[in-house]
Amino acid sequence: MKGFNLSLKYYLAGTVLLIGVGLVVGYTFLAGSFFREGIDTYIVSQMDGVAKNYRKQPALFEQSPLDDLFYVSSDWQALPSEFQQAFSAKDIESNRLYKHKIVSEERASRRILFLLKATNGDQMPVYVGKSMKPSEVPQIGRQKAGRSFTFLHVTGGVILVVLIVVLFLLLKSLGRPIERLGQWARSVSPETVKEPLPDFRYRELNQLAALIQQGLQQTHATLEREQQFLNYASHELRTPISVMRNNIELLYRMDNERSEAETRVLNRLYRAGLTMTDLIDTLLWLSREEVEAIPVAKVHLDNEVMEAVNSLRYLTEGKPVTLHVDTEPFVGRWAKVPCQIVLTNMVRNAFQHSWEGGVTIRQTQAMVEIRNRLVEAEDGREPAELGFGLGLFLIEKLCRQFGWGLQTTMVDGEHVTRVDFESSALKESEWPNSSSEDTA
């Protein structure tokens, strides 16, 4: 169930305990039922014996009736009135014991009536009745019945306690290896993933640990291959891209007289080279799992912002985009290269995904805010479909690693990106209100 984590240990304990309690309680009631059935069977056997003797010598019973023990007769009307009132002759089945409890406020009037219609083949039916008062039950019988029920309940309680103790020991025996497996799985690292597996006592847990280790080894191998590919690809691409950019710059210097079409092609090649260079730098930084000990240096934030804007201004060429940049002198001490990468990617994202309207870049002390309006692109895609790709991902990664505050929001159709290089948390109140010239 989503949002609810059920513990396997407590689920197993609850299930076993519920089954155990159900069995103990069920067998306790079953034993009590058998005890009462045994008393009824004893009474039926006595009444059946009386019926057999009555068939042999009915006259003897009429001359010497068993007034205090049983009422015996082949005639229903000869039974005492209390039996005739408590039972209906037409509803009485043969060889079945019927009981009726007479409840009264006076203890002397309380009694239980037993009735049996004994038949044997074609012989005449014999009605045997017995009336028993609570006071007529022998003291030894009450004591024995009480001891039997006490023994029954005590035995059930002892069995339940033993069940709980055994369950506790079982969970303890199962829980420790499972906890050790969890601790081992959490402690596995790329350096220890190939070490021999510890023994978790049970075969199933050892098999599960082997599967976990196998999966981690495969994942680690895949990550290593991806890491190597990114490193090799990034470094190997640097050389041909550098050659291409150098040759493009050489073409700029060699021939000053070229047609407008040739100039546009050359400019596109130059911009593509810059883009590929930035992409390689992005891939290199994304491939780093941990932050290196990058030295902290003085960073003129206003100059870095303007340098990023000037180097990427070509991305707005041919677009009806109005650029507004507002900076103020500010010097901070940060890791310079990551700071430049964050600023460059912020500006590139804004320029690449702005097709018309305005782009506002504002730097206030250590905080930088960039606003750009998102509209439908020339190829018909919505702004949300374009995304901000690797650039925004790299910005988030660097800000998280260096403890810089980052906030990205949508305000009235504008995408707003804010970075604070001196704080890991950003509040809306810390930013100056946007003026009318910041939106286009």
Q: Note the pLDDT tens digit of each residue in 404-436.
A: 888 888 887 788 889 998 876 554 444 444 433
Residue 267 DSSP code: H
Placement of tokens 């169930």 in the chain:
1
Q: Does residue 263 register a pLDDT over 80? A: no
| φ, ψ at 413 (rounded to 5°) | 80, 5
Q: What dotted CATH number matches 190-287? A: 1.10.287
Q: pLDDT-derived band of residue 369, with 50, 70 and 90 as boundaries? A: very high
| Mean pLDDT comparison of 64-78, 256-270, 275-289, 340-354, highest-scoring range | 340-354
| φ, ψ at 288 (rounded to 5°) | -85, 120
Higher pLDDT, 328 or 34: 328
Each residue of 161-200: pLDDT tens digit? Answer: 888 888 888 877 777 888 888 888 888 887 777 888 888 8
pTM of the full structure: 0.45
End-to-end Cα distance, the chain: 49
Each residue of 213-224: pLDDT tens digit? Answer: 888 888 888 878
Q: Does residue 115 register a pLDDT over 80? A: yes
Sign of CA dihedral 331, 335, 339, 341: positive
Q: Does residue 358 register a pLDDT over 60? A: yes
Give residue 118's Cα distance to chain centre. 66
β-bridge mates for residue 416, sequence order: 371, 409
Q: Does residue 383 register a pLDDT over 60? A: no
Give the pLDDT mean for 80-85: 86
Cα 304 from Cα 297, distance rounded (Å): 13
| Structural tokens at position 92 | 């009485």
Mean pLDDT in the chain?
78
Residue 361, sorted as left (phi over 0), alpha (psi -120 to 50) or beta, turns out to be: beta
| φ, ψ at 338 (rounded to 5°) | -60, -35
Each residue of 296-309: pLDDT tens digit? Answer: 888 899 998 998 88
Nearest to 363 by CA among 342, 349, 383: 342
The fraction of the chain above a pLDDT of 90, given in percent, is 5
* Window from 59-63, 228-232, 377-381 with minimum mean pLDDT: 377-381
Q: Do domains 190-287 and 294-377+386-426 have the same CATH topology?
A: no
The domain spans of the chain are 10-143, 190-287, 294-377+386-426
Q: Does residue 113 register a pLDDT over 50? A: yes
Residue 168 DSSP code: H
Please say whether the beta carbons of 193 and 216 come within 8 A: yes
Each residue of 19-64: pLDDT tens digit? Answer: 888 888 888 788 778 878 888 888 888 888 888 888 887 777 765 5
- Order of strands across the sheet that contains 126-132: 71-73, 126-132, 111-118, 97-102
From residue 19, give the alpha-carbon distance in Å to each of 8, 34, 113, 164, 243: 16, 22, 39, 11, 78
Angle at 325 between CA 320 and CA 330, to 5 degrees: 160
From residue 370, give the alpha-carbon distance in Å to each of 199, 324, 325: 57, 10, 9
Cα 6 from Cα 95, distance rounded (Å): 56
Q: What is the pLDDT of residue 101?
A: 86
| Mean pLDDT comparison of 264-273, 282-291, 331-340, highest-scoring range | 331-340
Give the pLDDT mean for 109-132: 84
Residue 201, sorted as left (phi over 0), alpha (psi -120 to 50) or beta, turns out to be: left
Task: List CB contacts of 422: < 8 A, sequence separation 6 or more.
Answer: 332, 365, 366
SS3 258: coil
From residue 271, give the alpha-carbon distance in Å to each of 276, 306, 312, 395: 9, 18, 9, 22
| Structural tokens at position 201 | 């006592």
Domain range 294-377+386-426, CATH class: alpha beta
Q: What is the pLDDT of residue 6?
A: 67
Q: What is the pLDDT of residue 287?
A: 63
